[in-house]
Amino acid sequence: MSKMPVIIFGAFLTFLFSWMGLVAYPYFQLGRFTPFVAEDTGDISPPPLSGMAVMGQRVYASSGCIYCHSQQVRQVGYGSDLERGWGARPTVARDYMRQNPAFLGTMRTGPDLSNIGARQPSIDWHHQHLYQPAVVSPGSIMPSFRYLYRLQKIEGQRSANAIDLLPPDAPPDGYEVVPTYEAEALVAYLISLNRNYPLPEAPEPPQ
Amino acid sequence: MNAIVYIILAAGLIFFSGSTLAAFYWAAKTGQFRNLEDGSQSIFDHDEPVGTATDAFADKTADRPLRRGATALKS
Amino acid sequence: MSATTVHSSTTTPAMDKAERARIDESTRVPVLLFFGSAVFWLLAGSLFALLASFKLNAPHLLDQWGWLTFGRVRPAHLNAVAYGWASSAGIGVALWLMARLCRSPLRHSKLLICAAIFWNIGVLVGIGGILSGDSRSIEWLEFPNYASLMLFVAFGLIAVWAVIMFRFRQPGHVYVSQWYLLAAFLWFPWLYSTANILLNFEPIQGGAQGAVNWWYGHNALGLWFTPIGLAAAYYFIPKVLGRPIHSYYLSILGFWSLALFYSWNGMHHLIGGPFPAWMISASVVASMMMFIPVITTAINHHMTVRGNFGALKWSPTLRFIVFGAMCYTLASLQGILMAIPSLNKITHFTHYTVGHAHLGLYAFFTMIMFGSMYYITPRVVGWEWPSARLIRWHFWLVAIGIGVMVVALTLGGLLQGIALLDPGITFMATLDYTKPWLLLRSGSGILLTVGHIIFAISFTLLLLKVGKRRAGPTLFGTDEVRQPESIIP
């Protein structure tokens, strides 16, 4: 019976250590990054986001994209992320320093988005895909985000940012589909997702 | 703003560890770790003693007889 | 002073019965408030679940409305069942257990009534916030700050109540269930506030958020839900059978080894992710060490029931609780395996994880909550469950439902994971592997929802005191002791 107090004391200490190891330590080690500045070019990595992309992060959060998409390219030996072309190198903690919240994600009902801006650099593609994902990617079960767009009558000339859609979602004659500000912000954010900049702690793995 | 985070985290840590230590000390002092077999019986009383079941479906057959071969209740 | 005296030899059975009835009656308002809210959120959470599941089968479903997009309905489901159903039911069960184990009528019920109100407003406002686009998009912590604050206030009130209640309890032994409950009440506000401060109120940099997120997420399961579930199992299994716990020493050992190892597990959600290797390794090791509390508990429960599995035929409480306790072992062992990196490579990011989550939170925790509510509610209301048939339907619908769901998601997830590992298989092809299993999951969801509706009907009928009057609040059936089967001592 006298071992019991020892067990309890040990339990308490370990619980305390877990707090230090998984909460306090990460704050100090992974929560105070500054960006890396390349000596020769002056490039800042990770690059700061445009204002629209920052707003786009909020739309990403508000729409719950993390429940189908991850944003972490895993290391060599942990899955086929690199072989699938989801990134030139694994992602590291500093890559997330500008993200709030960090969109690591835990499901891959859809592909990893860490570098979607590099894979799909076209704004038009993103708008079309958000509106009609099953048409752009046959077999996809991604829902349509049509609620981020407006169907409106064309007045005079077609709007500059009206998007092209394939049937069956193409607007009827005289009408156009125009993204709301939220849709444009979201796409600006998606285009910004490109972590192929080099970081000293994350060298590109040999091919 | 960072200072507030540190203060709250430190305060939480002290409160949590302090209360755990206090709980453990109290338990050892009041003999919670002795005589554990009796402790396991503490949920029974004279009306619901060891050997008595305390739950059943309220079926149409409310007065079902004991099954064949069942032994009598222990007191 | 002995810590072991139970009831002095001066009390008679009649006195003990009256005392117990008095204690039960004192818990009525807070317990029924929490149980009532729990049933409401169970139904709401089930509807959100069905919607989310159907949307994965038919993505066009209701897609014109932003507030119902999958990315909002899915966290609405999680929060409704985790904070709405599971936590409310858990608190209700815990309150009743505390009163019984303190052997004292419930004091300061106004604190608890306040807590129940804050809790429900918080959950309602939080889910409304998620659906309208204010989700924080951090798993398990999606509630916007205006909602999580209310939950924290409610938690605080409950923790204060628990400490006061414990302080004024009858002297004597502190039963193992009370260790678990007090620990849960003290651990959880601390977990919740720390995580919310560091992620939602004064967010730390993105690179560190994952660690805090999953320190919280996993500890919410292991240091909030698990202790409440185990506290209930440790009380009801011996209480229903009339047999003390097989090895009381093992049960205390199980509690402290849970506290010892569980809290380091969090990083096993992030294996392969952008975190220092030592953090992840520590979590893997801690996950392996979980064998100790899990096997300890499994042995204890099994040896307590051993020889009396026939009791599952006539006790609704025992049926649900033994089912739940067995699934605790299953879910925990599965979780330990999932933390092994070579297996984690396959299961990470797949529906396998979702299946595991439901094995834990539903097949273990929710079933134990059902069993507990079946025992507690009649004793608190002073009326019996009106229909044994409804109880049986409830049990079989949800038992089969959760069984099918877990199997479907496990198999679908494994196929998905194996396919994902092969870069030669296109991403779209990995999706095709999952589709039939997601359809099966929707079917199982329908079974579960019907089971919940039946439970809600039962519960309502009981509250309304429908049916013919049966015996007093402490025994089912007649006043005589009934023993459909012998109890092997």
- pLDDT (mean) for C341-353: 93
Residue C153 in this model has a pLDDT that exceeds 70: yes
Do A27 and A125 reside in the same domain of the chain?
A: no
Residue C421 in this model has a pLDDT that exceeds 80: yes
Asked if residue A132 lies in contact with residue C63, where contact means CB atoms within 8 angstroms, the answer is: no
Residue A20: predicted pLDDT? 75
> Is A144 close to C136, i.e. CB distance below 8 A?
no
The reply to whether A165 falls in a domain is yes
Residue B69: predicted pLDDT? 30
Residue C261: predicted pLDDT? 79
- pLDDT (mean) for C75-90: 98
Distance of CA B69 to the CA centre of its chain: 33
> Is C476 close to B55, i.e. CB distance below 8 A?
yes
Do A39 and A107 reside in the same domain of the chain?
A: no
* Residue B69 CB coordination number (10 Å): 7
Do A38 and A139 reside in the same domain of the chain?
A: no
Instruction: Convert C342-369 to b/e letters by CB count within 10 Å (16 or more is b).
Output: eebbbbbbbbbbbbbbbbbbbbbbbbbb
The reply to whether A200 falls in a domain is no
Return the closest-CA partner of residue C325 out of C249, C389, C376, C254. Answer: C254
In terms of Cβ atoms closer than 10 Å to its own Cβ (0-12, 13-18, 19+), residue B66 is middle
Residue-wise pLDDT for C349-368, tens only, equals 999 999 999 999 999 999 99
> Is A109 close to C65, i.e. CB distance below 8 A?
no
Do A185 and A162 reside in the same domain of the chain?
A: yes
> Is C242 close to B42, i.e. CB distance below 8 A?
no
Residues of A with CB under 8 A from a CB of B: 1, 4-5, 8-9, 12, 15-16, 19, 23-24
The reply to whether A102 falls in a domain is yes
Chain B residues whose CB is inside 8 A of the C470 CB are: 58, 62
The reply to whether A199 falls in a domain is no
Residue-wise pLDDT for C162-203, tens only, equals 988 888 888 777 888 988 998 888 888 888 988 998 899 888
Residue B20: predicted pLDDT? 67
Residue in the structure block whose two tokens are 């100090």: A28
C-alpha–C-alpha distance, residues A147 and A130, integer Å: 10
Looking at the complex, report in whole angstroms how far the Cα of residue C374 sits from the nearest Cα belonging to chain B.
9
Residue C5 in this model has a pLDDT that exceeds 50: no
In terms of Cβ atoms closer than 10 Å to its own Cβ (0-12, 13-18, 19+), residue C177 is buried
The values of phi and psi at residue C185, to 5°, are -65, -30
pLDDT by 10s per residue, chain B, length 75 = 566 666 766 776 677 667 667 777 777 777 766 777 777 888 888 888 888 788 877 664 333 333 333 333 322
Q: Sign of torsion, CA A111 A113 A114 A115?
A: positive
Q: C residues 274-313 near B, CB within 8 Å?
A: 311
Residues sharing a CB contact under 8 Å with residue A23, sequence separation 6 or more, in sequence order: B9, C194, C198, C211, C212, C215
Chain C residues whose CB is inside 8 A of the B70 CB are: 483, 485-486
Residue A168 in this model has a pLDDT that exceeds 50: yes
> Is B66 close to C484, i.e. CB distance below 8 A?
yes
Give yes or no for C285 touching A (CB within 8 A).
Answer: no
- pLDDT (mean) for C460-487: 55
Half-sphere exposure of C99 (CA within 13 A, CB side): 26
> Is C269 close to A64, i.e. CB distance below 8 A?
no
> Is B34 close to A16, i.e. CB distance below 8 A?
no
Do A89 and A37 reside in the same domain of the chain?
A: no
Residue in A1, A9, A23 nearest the CB of B34: A1
Do A41 and A59 reside in the same domain of the chain?
A: no
How much of chain A exceeds pLDDT 90, in percent?
64
Chain A residues whose CB is inside 8 A of the B9 CB are: 23-24
Residue-wise pLDDT for C196-234, tens only, equals 988 998 888 888 898 889 889 998 999 899 999 999 999
Return the closest-CA partner of residue C147 out of C183, C190, C92, C192. Answer: C192
Do A24 and A86 reside in the same domain of the chain?
A: no
Residue in B13, B21, B27 nearest the CB of A19: B13
Do A41 and A109 reside in the same domain of the chain?
A: no
- pLDDT (mean) for A104-128: 96
Q: Domains along chain C?
A: 14-463 (1.20.210.10)
Q: C residues 392-411 near B, CB within 8 Å?
A: 392
The values of phi and psi at residue A150, to 5°, are -120, 135
Residue C426: predicted pLDDT? 94
- Report the SS3 class of residue B15: helix
Q: Which of C63, C64, C135, C137 is most worth mutating to test chain A (most A CB atoms within 10 A of its CB)? A: C137
Distance of CA C134 to the CA centre of its chain: 26
Looking at the complex, report in whole angstroms how far the Cα of residue B43 sits from the nearest Cα belonging to chain A.
22
Chain C residues whose CB is inside 8 A of the A63 CB are: 66, 69, 71-72, 133
Contact pairs from chain B to chain C, CB under 8 Å: 178
Do A120 and A103 reside in the same domain of the chain?
A: yes
Q: Sign of torsion, CA C72 C78 C83 C88?
A: positive
- pLDDT (mean) for C447-452: 98
Do A131 and A141 reside in the same domain of the chain?
A: yes
Residue A121 in this model has a pLDDT that exceeds 80: yes
Q: The pTM is what?
A: 0.90
Residue B62: predicted pLDDT? 36
C-alpha–C-alpha distance, residues B4 and B7, integer Å: 5
Do A50 and A38 reside in the same domain of the chain?
A: no
CA closest to A2 among chain B residues = B33
Give yes or no for C350 touching A (CB within 8 A).
Answer: yes
Residue C98 in this model has a pLDDT that exceeds 60: yes
The reply to whether A158 falls in a domain is yes
Please state the domain count of chain A.
Answer: 2
Question: For every residue of chain C, which 3-state class applies, written as one string?
Answer: CCCCCCCCCCCCHHHHHHHHHHHHHHCHHHHHHHHHHHHHHHHHHHHHHHHHHHHHHCCCCCCCCHHHCHHHHHHHHHHHHHHHHHHHHHHHHHHHHHHHHHCCCCCCHHHHHHHHHHHHHHHHHHHHHHHCCCCCCCCCCCCCHHHHHHHHHHHHHHHHHHHHHHHCCCCCCCCHHHHHHHHHHHHHHHHHHHHHHHHHHCCCCHHHHHHHHHHHHHHHHHHHHHHHHHHHHHHHHHHHHCCCCCCHHHHHHHHHHHHHHHCCHHHHHHCCCCCCHHHHHHHHHHHHHCHHHHHHHHHHHHHHHCCCCCHHHHCHHHHHHHHHHHHHHHHHHHHHHHCCHHHHHHHCCCHHHHHHHHHHHHHHHHHHHHHHHHHHHHHHHCCCCCCHHHHHHHHHHHHHHHHHHHHHHHHHHHHHHHHHHCCCCCHHHHHHHHHHHHHHHHHHHHHHHHHHHHHHHHHHHHHCCCCCCCCCCCCCCCCCCCCCCCCCC
Chain A residues whose CB is inside 8 A of the B21 CB are: 12
Residue in the structure block whose two tokens are 């204060």: C160
Chain B residues whose CB is inside 8 A of the C241 CB are: 53
Residue in B9, B13, B24 nearest the CB of A9: B24
Return the closest-CA partner of residue C220 out of C247, C191, C249, C258. Answer: C191
> Is B5 close to C204, i.e. CB distance below 8 A?
yes
Residues sharing a CB contact under 8 Å with residue C142, sequence separation 6 or more, in sequence order: C75, C78, C79, C126, C130, C135, C136
Do A65 and A13 reside in the same domain of the chain?
A: no
- C118 or C16: which carries more pLDDT confidence? C118
Q: What is the ipTM of this complex?
A: 0.90
Residue A18 lies in domain:
9-45
Residue A8 in this model has a pLDDT that exceeds 80: no
Residue C471 in this model has a pLDDT that exceeds 90: no
Residue A14: predicted pLDDT? 67
> Is C272 close to A4, i.e. CB distance below 8 A?
no
